[in-house]
Structure 1
């Protein structure tokens, strides 16, 4: 039974990493495409202005403005991996009409691996998105990340439905299959590094926190 559970956890971790890497590649590909197109937009505007077609140029700018409003720019926290992870998850949340705010400042070099970071942050935000989808009115996720001493601190508040039931140190999830190992995997990684996590559920809101050594 333990071996079967372990194999499920390994399968889950592999699935998570592959999915997150795919999300990161998608974001960078999209941003590269917009950078490439920007040159053509400038050339088109230059031609219109040189031809004296002011109204046409203004219309073109308005169309570009509307298009850019729908572009999710990559976050800049100071850590490339966290930028990519958060940007991918924020794009998912916004697609579900969830308002997301992030305040984060993280150095680029951390002792915890990118894979572990992806699993920690990705799992918690996935659970926050799942929780928000059960709310009909205000959907929000508020994230704060910073270095405290030599520790990486993560805090998140998200909208939720009714107070969740707890089983041991974890709250029950509606996810099926290997997805149910999400929070357990988070705890395992944090325990391995000498960190801790804490969750709190109330009617209408859910909070997640973790603190883990990340600086030598």
Structure 2
């Protein structure tokens, strides 16, 4: 009626469908573009089946199917039904995440646009051939060729979607593996620290025997010298904490020793509510990741700014029926990109330690906050207590 080019109408329709998905949905850009493109392909397939299959196999002419034709209404309803069925079938695939590289994304966009244009162009050629040559056999061949092309194109897009989904699943599995390795390392730290404490207990028994012997023989000067030497040696080699929580004692003792060896200034305070009942493995992973990130940032600061003194401040204390876990350290370089925190090991990758901490806090029903003001990285965590009665007066410190 308006004498517009069908190619222009298709381009406008495609832009509206993709634009609708981009504006009204909040998935990743690639997912929204995929579903916008898939809807256009579905409309092409439904349009083609409705318009050309009846002409090919039932000898129905185009005027009967176009506006004003005798069969316009029933075949329009058939078109709507076909579109609904195809959309429903695709919806049953479920909305999964897909992951593609930059080149793969560009290639995917080009395939979508070119495939839709080619399918529509064959449709236009079929209409022109029917009008000019009036050759049913030739028209039938074009119809079948285009129908096969559109179906194969639809399956190609679904195949690319499946590849992107598989890549996203593999990436998630690799990330879980790395998290498992980190947690296994923290668990080994717990074991090593516990073993070291057992060895120290054995050594203490020996030292007590020596002290008892010196005291029994009245050698007060030797006794005082021996006690001073032992006390100095103990202070130099071990930070012994006794909070009542084995995970905190082992992890924090180990990390404080590591910080001391790296000449990092540390301040810490632990006031642990007696009814704090977080899972020990999750707690060790949480505190271990906090300290690992802080130690790595301080080491990097020492390498890039030797004149700056690195520091780590850490404390745990009760706060309004919750347990507050807080750590802060100074740092030197870029730690965020596009809203994500970068790994300190690789500049081009996102840190998975922070993501793991967020997951642990979410599982515990807590609150997780990060701030990066004035080159000071701060992690602020609030964990609710299981039983919040009279905890203000009961601490193990």
TM band (smaller chain): 0.7 to 0.9
The residue number in structure 1 matching 2:262 is 96
What is the TM-score of this pair, normalised by structure 2?
A: 0.48
Larger relative contact order (C-alpha < 8 A, sep ≥ 6)?
Answer: 1
Deviation at residue 124 of structure 1 after TM alignment: 1.5
Q: Are the structure 2 counterparts of residues 126 and 40 from structure 1 closer, same or farther at C-alpha, using a change threshold of 3 Å?
A: same
Q: Are the structure 2 counterparts of residues 8 and 99 from structure 1 closer, same or farther at C-alpha, using a change threshold of 3 Å?
A: same
Coordinate RMSD, CA, aligned: 2.8
Offset from partner CA, 1:61-102 (integer Å, 9 cap, x none): 333233112232332334332222222222222221112221
**Alpha-carbon contact 1:146-1:154 (below 8 Å) kept:** yes
For the residue of structure 2 that corresponds to 1:175, the secondary structure is coil
Deviation at residue 3 of structure 1 after TM alignment: 1.5
What is the TM-score of this pair, normalised by structure 1?
A: 0.82
Q: Which one is further off, 188-197 or 134-143?
A: 188-197
Quick check: 1:213 aligned with 2:384?
Answer: yes
Map 1:3-82 onto structure 2 (within 5 A). Answer: 3-51=169-217, 53-82=219-248
Q: 1:172 aligns with which of 327, 339, 342?
A: 342
Is there any run of 5+ residues in structure 2 with no aligned partner, and where? Answer: 1-166, 388-397
The residue number in structure 2 matching 1:138 is 309
Q: Are the structure 2 counterparts of residues 212 and 167 from structure 1 closer, same or farther at C-alpha, using a change threshold of 3 Å?
A: farther
For the residue of structure 2 that corresponds to 1:102, the secondary structure is strand
Q: Are the structure 2 counterparts of residues 57 and 114 from structure 1 closer, same or farther at C-alpha, using a change threshold of 3 Å?
A: closer
Greater per-residue helix proportion: 2
The residue number in structure 1 matching 2:330 is 159
Q: Are the structure 2 counterparts of residues 48 and 193 from structure 1 closer, same or farther at C-alpha, using a change threshold of 3 Å?
A: closer
**Alpha-carbon contact 1:140-1:158 (below 8 Å) kept:** yes
**Alpha-carbon contact 1:104-1:145 (below 8 Å) kept:** yes
Deviation at residue 11 of structure 1 after TM alignment: 1.4
Task: Give the length in aligned residue pairs.
Answer: 215
Q: Are the structure 2 counterparts of residues 170 and 104 from structure 1 closer, same or farther at C-alpha, using a change threshold of 3 Å?
A: farther
Q: 2:273 aligns with which of 107, 117, 132?
A: 107
Structure 2 CA distance for aligned equivalents of residues 178 and 12 of structure 1: 13
Deviation at residue 37 of structure 1 after TM alignment: 2.0
Structure with the greater alpha carbon radius of gyration? 2
Q: Which one is further off, 169-178 or 121-130?
A: 169-178
